[in-house]
Amino acid sequence: MIFRVVIQKQFNFAGYLYSNFALKPIEIREKIVLSSLRTKLFNNFMKTIDNGALNTGSG
C-alpha cells in the first residue's frame, strides 16, 4: 500500500527530528508530537481499512 510507505517516511522523519532534539528543543518537540499524533491517527485509519477488508459484507 502506498499509504504505508508514506507513513513510514513520516515516521523516519520523526526519528530524525528526535535524534536532533538538542538543536531546537521546543520547536522540534512540537513537530515530533504532531508527527507522532499523525502517525497514530493514520495507523488507526489503516486498521479500520484492514478490518473492513477482512470483514467484507459486514458494513
**Alpha-carbon gap, residue 33 to 43, rounded angstroms:** 15
Taking the CA atoms of the chain, what radius of gyration do you get in angstroms? 15
Separation CA 58–CA 21 (nearest Å): 45
Q: pLDDT at position 38, please?
A: 85
CA-to-CA dists, residue 49 to 6, 15, 46, angstroms: 16, 26, 5
Domain extent listing, the chain: 2-50
Residue 20's pLDDT is what? 64
pLDDT per 10-residue tile (average), the chain, 59 residues: 67 68 66 84 83 63
